[in-house]
Amino acid sequence: MTLEAVILAAGEGTRMRSALPKSLHQIGGAPMLAHILKAAGALNPAKIHLVVARRGGDLVKDAVERGLAARRAEELLGKICWATQESSLGTGHAVMQAMPAVGRESTLLVLYGDTPLLRASTLARLAAVKDGVALLTAELENPDGFGRIVRGAGGEIERIIEHKDADAAQKKIRECNAGCMAAPAKVIADALGGIRPDNAQRELYLTDVVAAAAAAGARITACHPDAIEETIGVNTQADLACAERVFQLEQAREVMARGLCLRDPARFDLRGRFEFGRDCALDINVILEGEISLGARCRIGANSVIRNSSIGDDSVIEANCVLDGAVVGANCVIGPFARLRPRAQLADGARAGNFVEIKNSRVGRGAKANHLSYIGDSEIGAGANIGAGVITCNYDGANKHRSVIGEDVFVGSNSALVAPLRIGDGATIGAGSTITQDVAAADLAVGRARQRAVRGWKRPVKKTGQ
């Protein structure tokens, strides 16, 4: 039988207390919905029906389309069929919105957009059901808020009772509905025809499909997740944080298994894709976002944030650096407290020390800016030394201009280099200069007032009697 999936993402998400549709809240830097889509997509279903709300539905659609395009997942995108639920009348009602487009001969896997940690391997076992209804259930320590699995005297599943509708005895049941089921589409369609909103929330519950199918003679089977954490359903910000920690710990374990040295796996956050060579080490509280690659033997200091950047072999990022869209060569030393902004390119052996900001600039092999500098829209030749407090004045209030600084140039401390500007190879700029004209190779340029001495100068004396 062909497999189709439906993912429900049309709930109001009231308990999140947020204007953002719930399924767009992020885990590991990607919307929850992207995670569940990825897991469902791994089963290679013929179609994925996405049920979104009238309000906020466009945002969800946009995010999914942009996210899949960025991942070049056109094939998955092509499988998505959108359905709109006009108002949140319950999970059963949400599935009904997708049913007209579901092939009657297919197996239907129903998923919620707020259970981001479900693994494809778990879903595959559930989707392997041949007849009847397969439910994902788990014994939870704290089952509050979950639908409970009610079993008959012979142990067979009779129904799911929602927490809000459960009596005291039913609330003691610890076996819970994790929020996904699989069954032949026909079975679900027939059972949906028999559900009523006669419950505490006045909603059409998908979970009532179980009792209806059981009454019609269908066999109800329970599958269990590979890991209990997969069942986390995100209803509140606290649930979101909890799911995030589980997700990050999983990623931490995975990168350690690939040979990364993490000083503390509980203080590691990866929100994207991460490649690294052998013998790299990350200190605590490093945040990695987007696409990040490290060569071999790199060391990243504590509290650094690295986004969409690549770093070559044997380079060191000291503590408290922010890198965004930077390309760092081999044997570089960055920071502590350095900021590399988009299109900062450092060749092998370059250094950017504390409170140095570099943007849209190429820093040559072995060149150094060790303290308190701004380098923007510049080229710095190999071996150049940029002294403390040097600023490239790249902006005239309207346009940006380039500074081209040759090889082995020495720029004295606290100089302002007013772009557009060219400084030839081997030139020297005296400390404290404001350089507004090009400097020829090997020249010394000094652009500051000459020092003078005032003989017999008397310091002011504090006046008395006032």
Find the shortest distance in angstroms from Cβ 199 to ligand UD1: 8
Does 113 bind ligand UD1 (CB under 6 A)? Our answer is: yes
Judged by CB under 6 A, the chain residues 12 through 41 that form the site for ligand UD1 are 22
Q: Indicate the residue among 146 and 274 with the shorter CB distance to Ca ion.
A: 146
Q: Mapping DSSP to helix (H, G, I), strand (E, B) and coil, where does residue 123 land?
A: helix
Per-residue contact string for residues 231-260; x = within reach of Ca ion by CB under 5 A: --x-x-------------------------
From candidates 3, 30, 51, 222, binder to ligand UD1 by CB under 6 A: 51
Q: Mapping DSSP to helix (H, G, I), strand (E, B) and coil, where does residue 435 land?
A: strand
Count Cβ atoms below 10 Å from residue 70 Cβ, excluding itself: 8
From candidates 112, 274, 276, 337, binder to ligand UD1 by CB under 6 A: 112
Give which of ligand UD1, Ca ion, none residue 91 binds (C-beta under 5 to 8 Å, depending on kind). ligand UD1
Look up residue 11 and give its two tokens: 């709930």
Judged by CB under 6 A, the chain residues 131 through 160 that form the site for ligand UD1 are 146-147, 160
Q: Mapping DSSP to helix (H, G, I), strand (E, B) and coil, where does residue 172 land?
A: coil
The β-bridge relationship of strands 26-27 and 30-31 is antiparallel
Q: Which residues of 202-233 are buried (b: 16+ CB within 10 A; e: fewer)?
A: ebbbbbbbbbbbbeeebebbbbbbeeebbbbb
Does 308 bind ligand UD1 (CB under 6 A)? Our answer is: no
Q: Indicate the residue among 115 and 392 with the shorter CB distance to ligand UD1.
A: 115
Q: Indicate the residue among 179 and 349 with the shorter CB distance to Ca ion.
A: 179
Q: Indicate the residue among 149 and 189 with the shorter CB distance to Ca ion.
A: 149
From candidates 50, 60, 206, 367, binder to ligand UD1 by CB under 6 A: 206
> What is the residue type of 309?
S
Tell me which of 163, 224, 371, 401 is the catalytic residue. 371
Residue 196: Cβ-neighbour burial (10 angstroms; 0-12, 13-18, 19+): exposed
Main-chain dihedrals φ then ψ at residue 429, nearest 5 degrees? -115, 125
Annotated active-site residue 371? The verdict is yes
Does 88 bind ligand UD1 (CB under 6 A)? Our answer is: yes
Q: Are 315 and 297 in contact (CB under 8 A)?
A: no
Find the shortest distance in angstroms from Cβ 28 to Ca ion: 19
Q: Indicate the residue among 212 and 298 with the shorter CB distance to ligand UD1.
A: 212
Alpha-carbon span 378 to 252, nearest angstrom: 38
Find the shortest distance in angstroms from Cβ 47 to ligand UD1: 17
Does 93 bind ligand UD1 (CB under 6 A)? Our answer is: yes
Judged by CB under 6 A, the chain residues 226 through 285 that form the site for ligand UD1 are 233, 235
Alpha-carbon span 148 to 164, nearest angstrom: 10
Closest CA to 357 of 330, 386, 384: 386
Specify the stretch interacting with ligand UD1 by CB under 6 A; choose among 205-213, 259-267, 274-282, 297-305.
Answer: 205-213
Q: How many helices (H) and strands (E) does the chain have?
A: 9, 38
From candidates 24, 29, 102, 114, binder to ligand UD1 by CB under 6 A: 114
Closest CA to 71 of 35, 43, 46, 47: 35
∠ CA(106), CA(110), CA(115), 5° rounding?
150
Q: What is the DSSP letter of 395?
A: B
Edge-to-edge, what's the strand order for the sheet holding 316-317? 261-262, 281-282, 299-300, 316-317, 333-334, 351-354, 368-371, 385-386, 410-411, 428-429, 444-445
Find the shortest distance in angstroms from Cβ 77 to ligand UD1: 20
Per-residue contact string for residues 315-354; x = within reach of ligand UD1 by CB under 6 A: ----------------------------------------
Does 203 bind Ca ion (CB under 5 A)? Our answer is: no
Nearest-CB residue for ligand UD1: 147
Does 64 bind ligand UD1 (CB under 6 A)? Our answer is: no
Specify the stretch interacting with ligand UD1 by CB under 6 A; choose among 170-178, 320-328, 376-384, 455-463.
Answer: 170-178
Q: What is the DSSP letter of 14?
A: G
Q: Indicate the residue among 202 and 462 with the shorter CB distance to ligand UD1.
A: 202
Sign of CA dihedral 197, 127, 222, 131: positive
Alpha-carbon span 69 to 63, nearest angstrom: 10
Does 114 bind Ca ion (CB under 5 A)? Our answer is: yes
Q: Is the peptide bond before 116 cis (omega within 30 degrees of 0)?
A: no
Look up residue 112 and give its two tokens: 């919620």
Specify the stretch interacting with Ca ion by CB under 5 A; choose among 107-115, 117-125, 348-356, 448-456.
Answer: 107-115
Binding-site ranges for ligand UD1 (CB under 6 A):
8-11, 22, 51, 85, 88-91, 93-94, 112-115, 146-147, 160, 162, 176-179, 205-207, 233, 235
Residues annotated as part of the active site? 371
Binding-site ranges for Ca ion (CB under 5 A):
114, 233, 235
